[in-house]
Structure 1
Amino acid sequence: MSDALRPMAAKPRLYEQVLDRLRSYVTEGGLGAGDRLPPERDLAARLGVSRASVKQAIVVLEVQGLVEVRHGGGTYLVRDTLDVEPVEQLVERRRRLPDVLDAREALETKLAELAAERRTEDDITGMRAALARMEAEIEAGEHGVEGDRLFHAAVTAAAHSSILAEFMRSIADQITESRHESLRQPSRPGRSLAQHRDILDAIVAGQPKQAASAMRRHVRTVAKVRLLDWDPGDSGDQGEPGEPEENDQRPL
């Protein structure tokens, strides 16, 4: 039987090919955190692609926290490599993230309310220790991920609801994704820490409504991530009139 109609391999989006070139450029050039990438116009000219393709590649790098785009000031590396996550994984995470954030708001708002009613001194000690851990991580130049995880776990424990705790465990992996997505946003770790302190203050004061409101504000801040603004479509893949074809691209 002829295999002429066998499934065709998916053609990489042009901006994904730009990502591969940029990764090689950074590696071969020995660039590291703080170094600036060439302007988008120069990258487009040297690669023989449209600026739209370059811009889409830069957005993917920004979404993953690998570069910082300073408006009017250029694009700078945040890390020493551009080892990007496969685009299809980003697309899948973007698809499920809104549902995860909805679940977090519903569950964690109630958990904070219950924690304000039921917390013990040991619970308060655990939450304070978590915030101290997060603060230390941020001061060390990290995102505060572990301290963040410990704080939310401590709030869950302070609610003393086995059913809600089980619901939280059931989406633990997705919550971890949303945590990393949020905390790699510029200036987000410090803001998150401040919001955690507001939540803790309300819980310690035994104010259920205020604790719930503080948690709701926090989770809605978590929902403000670059990934959800990203359009993973084929933007820029067709190039612009008069530009070289894909196989005419020049290396950086």
Structure 2
Amino acid sequence: MPGSGESKGFTRVSRPRLYERLVEQLLGYIASTGLGPGDLLPAERELAERMGVSRATLAQALVALEVLGVIDVQHGTGAVLVYRPSVASVLRELREHRDRMPEIVEARSTLEVKLAALAAERHTPGDLAAMDLALEAMAAEIAGGSRGTTGDEQFHQAVASAAHSSILASMMTFISELVRETRLASLGQPGRPEQSLESHRAIVDAIRSANPRAAAEAMQAHIDLVSETEM
């Protein structure tokens, strides 16, 4: 009988999540069909039917690949392959992404909450106009069937600009690629784009009313919302 000490040095192997298994299957499909950079993957509905899963579940796998830069999901076109990685490297990057998500959220809470409070104190009419334009852009994207990622990015940039703090704005620019990971992962969740848009509106209302505390609380509530992902 093996002694209990022989288990030392081993780590518990976690059960892969469903979307991870779908990612493996998608990468296998890409390899077997010879798809290369610039080629289109089949439509989501077709892929979901082939794999025997719901489109919502498949969307999680596609978002994971988009977060890692393997595909580029273009509204009206579909998922375009950017490059062909190995399965092992993608699964490793997915787990690294999950591991660093709490730190990205922590950084956003530290920076963006302060930026929202400063924006409530320092905004100009032009700053408010930029935020309103971003809200309109995101709403139009969502109405057109997209996730609203471009409008979302424009909105957060507008809030950062309205704070009129060059150092904090530079810090946000420094972590922008990491923030993009959380943005894609969050907006890929079912119903999340609409929820995110509503929380953006609450932030703008607080900034427009020149209420720093309310703006900070609205931004924190928004970050708490977008940090809830299944990736």
Considering the TM-score relative to the shorter chain, is it more than 0.5? yes
Partner of 2:205: 201
Comparing both structures, which one devotes a greater share of its residues to helix? 2
Change (3 A) 1:160 1:81: closer
1:89-116 alpha-carbon deviations (Å, 9 max, x no partner): 2122222221111100111111111111
Higher relative contact order structure (alpha carbons within 8 Å, sequence separation ≥ 6): 1
1:12-59 alpha-carbon deviations (Å, 9 max, x no partner): x9957645556669x9xx96322424558xxxxxxxxxxxxxxxxx97
Partner of 2:219: 215
Q: For residues 162 and 126 of structure 2, what CA distance do their matches in structure 1 show?
A: 9
Q: Which amino acid aligns with 1:161?
A: S
2:44 to 16, 33, 49: 33
2:144 to 136, 140, 147: 140
Structure 2 contact 60–189 (Cα < 8 Å) conserved: no
Q: Which amino acid aligns with 2:44?
A: A
- 1:122 maps to 2:133: no
Structure 1 contact 112–159 (Cα < 8 Å) conserved: yes
Partner SS, residue 192 of structure 1: helix
Change (3 A) 1:205 1:100: same
Q: For residues 79 and 201 of structure 2, what CA distance do their matches in structure 1 show?
A: 34
In the alignment of these two chains, the number of paired residues is: 184
Q: For residues 31 and 60 of structure 1, what CA distance do their matches in structure 2 show?
A: 12
- 1:150 maps to 2:148: no
Partner SS, residue 45 of structure 2: coil
The Cα RMSD (Å) is 3.2
User: Which of the two has higher C-alpha Rg?
Assistant: 1
Structure 1 contact 22–82 (Cα < 8 Å) conserved: no
1:166: Cα distance to partner? Answer: 1.4
Change (3 A) 1:80 1:153: closer
Specify every segment of 5 or more residues in structure 2 that has no aligned partner in the other structure, as ranges: 1-15, 36-40, 65-76
Partner of 1:174: 178
1:62 to 32, 52, 60: 60
Q: For residues 138 and 79 of structure 2, what CA distance do their matches in structure 1 show?
A: 25
Structure 1 contact 137–143 (Cα < 8 Å) conserved: yes
Change (3 A) 1:180 1:31: closer
Specify every segment of 5 or more residues in structure 1 that has no aligned partner in the other structure, as ranges: 1-12, 41-57, 67-78, 228-252
Change (3 A) 1:81 1:160: closer
Q: For residues 43 and 110 of structure 2, what CA distance do their matches in structure 1 show?
A: 41
Partner of 1:111: 115
- Runs (4 or more) in structure 1 with deviation over 6 Å come to 58-61, 79-85
1:169: Cα distance to partner? Answer: 1.2
Q: For residues 58 and 45 of structure 2, what CA distance do their matches in structure 1 show?
A: 18
| TM-score, normalised via structure 1 length | 0.64
Q: For residues 138 and 121 of structure 1, what CA distance do their matches in structure 2 show?
A: 26
| TM-score, normalised via structure 2 length | 0.69
Q: Which amino acid aligns with 2:109?
A: E
